[in-house]
Structures are given as structure tokens and as C-alpha cells.
Amino acid sequence: MLHHKIIVLTGGADGIGWECAKAYSKAGATVCILDKNPIAENKLNELETAQKTAIVCNLVNENEVADAFKTIIEKFGAIDAIHNNAGIAHPSKTLDQTTDAEWDLLMNVNLKSILYTTRHGIGHLKKTKGCILNTSSMVGTIGQNNHAVYVATKGAINALTKAMALDYAPYRIRVNAVSPAAINTPTLQSWSKEQPNKEEIQHYLDKLQPLGSMPAGDVIADACLFLLSDAARFITGTILPVSGGAELGYRTII
């Protein structure tokens, strides 16, 4: 489905991002991972396509993002898609308890990184009539207690996705977002262990989604694969829930 496509994937070293990298590679894409953490060569070689690269990149540093895109173009010649997946959720706080530094970090990683990848990638996407995919979250639509700034960034991603879809439609560039609920990733496991009621949290996460217990990131990767493929060629401005029905109706969670 992604044969010969060159995809830039941020935050691809683990979790949902790594599952996406594997899915894109299996579908025939060249995967270019930008992540603050290095990826060992033996892990990178798990990707099925011969062409792939991983660049250590601080996504809130514009110069590093610009250099990464330059490297990708020099190596592969084009960019067909950008998947803005990098994000952080820490800290778990109400708005009044959030420090300026915590606010700035969440806004920079979750939002400014999209500004930089778009600024340095849009010219290449115009040439290929490519697409952009943003990783959002159900909390951006339904909210979440004790995560005010994280929720704000995901709500902003939803609104930004729609604005970008309109702005870039004249260039035949599609812009969509995927919206997970609870996904079993290292980030979520780390968060759950920090909570005072760890056992209750795990039970809650497993019961959150009517379709079944908390899945791994491959369910998100499958949806992302579709949105980046030509099968979704007339879909833009969509915030696609991949939530197992977590947002549906009042339910008793026992």
C-alpha cells in the first residue's frame, strides 16, 4: 500500500511510532525516523525494506529539524508523507499547578514540532502531492482530568489538522489525524506506574474500551497505514478515532 513512498516519522523509536515504522516498512515504504533517542542498528534492521534511516533529532530545535530534512532529501530525493507522532504527556497536573517550564515543554514537543516539520517539509510534499498525518488523542475531544496542558495540545492538534487540510488542499496535500484512546505503550505504562492507585488504573485502562482490553500500538499503525495510503486519497481534515469505542455512551466500569 505504500510501495516506493518515502515517509518521515517523528517519535518512531518506540511505542506507537515504532509500530507504525514496522507497518510502513512492511507495506513497502522507505521509513525515515526522527527521534530524540537513537535506534540501535539491529533494531532498525527489523524494518523489512532495504531503505530506511534513523536520525537523532531534537524536534523542538528548528536547526536540527531543517538538517534532518536536508539529509533525507540528499539520501532519498523526495518526501511523500510526514507523520507527526512525537509527543509527551507528562506532567499529570491541573492547569494552576503547571509550571511555565512544563507548559513550554508540552507545547513545544506536541505542537511546535509540527510547525517545524511542516515548515521544512511542505515544499517537498507539494512536489509529490503527499500527505501529513498527526497523532492526536481522544482526550483532545472528550477531555481528561489532571492533564490540562496535554489535553490542550491534543485539542490544538485536532483544530490544526483541519486548518492545515484547508490550507494545503489546493496543492492536493491531504492532512488527517489519528486519535487513540488507551494503548499499551512504554509511555502509558510509565505514566500508570507513577499514579498512586496503580492497580486501579491498570484495571480502568483495560476496561476503558468496549471492544476489549487495552491493545498494543499495532491497531493504531493499521489505521495510520490506511490514512497515508492511496486508499484514503479523498479523505482530508479527518480526526479518526481508533479507540475501541471508548468515547461511546455512559457505561459502568467494574
H or E, element range at 35: strand 30-35
Give the span between the Cα atoms of 79 and 65, in whole angstroms.
14
pLDDT reported for residue 192: 75
Is residue 150 annotated as part of the catalytic site, yes or no? yes
What is the value of pTM for the model shown?
A: 0.95
CB 173 within 8 A of CB 130: yes
Distances (CA, A) of 212 to 74, 118, 215, 227: 45, 36, 8, 23
pLDDT reported for residue 176: 99
Of the candidates 24, 116, 150, 168, the residue annotated as catalytic is 150
Task: Tell me the H-state helices in the chain.
Answer: 15-26, 41-44, 62-76, 100-107, 113-128, 139-142, 148-168, 186-194, 198-207, 218-228
CB 247 within 8 A of CB 142: yes
- DSSP bridge pairs for 241: 179
Local confidence pLDDT in tens for the 254 residues of the chain: 999 999 999 999 999 999 999 999 999 999 999 999 999 999 999 999 889 999 999 999 999 999 999 999 999 999 999 999 999 998 889 999 999 999 999 999 999 999 999 999 999 999 999 999 999 999 999 999 999 999 999 999 999 999 999 999 999 999 999 999 989 887 777 777 777 777 788 788 888 889 988 889 999 999 999 999 999 999 999 999 999 999 998 776 65
What's the residue count for the chain? 254
Give the span between the Cα atoms of 49 and 22, in whole angstroms.
9
192: nearest Cα among 180, 204, 181, 179: 204
pLDDT reported for residue 222: 98
The CATH classification number of 6-180+217-241 equals: 3.40.50.720
User: Which tens digits make up the pLDDT trace of 68-84?
Assistant: 999 999 999 999 999 99
Per-domain boundaries in the chain:
6-180+217-241, 186-215
Give the span between the Cα atoms of 239 and 159, in whole angstroms.
9
Give the span between the Cα atoms of 85 and 154, in whole angstroms.
12
pLDDT reported for residue 175: 99
Q: If you ran DSSP here, which 8-state letter would residue 60 be given?
A: T
Distances (CA, A) of 84 to 107, 141, 198, 248: 14, 18, 30, 27
User: Which tens digits make up the pLDDT trace of 120-155?
Assistant: 999 999 999 999 999 999 999 999 999 999 999 999
Classify 79 as helix, strand or coil.
coil
Distance of CA 32 to the CA centre of its chain: 14
Give the span between the Cα atoms of 155 and 45, in whole angstroms.
35
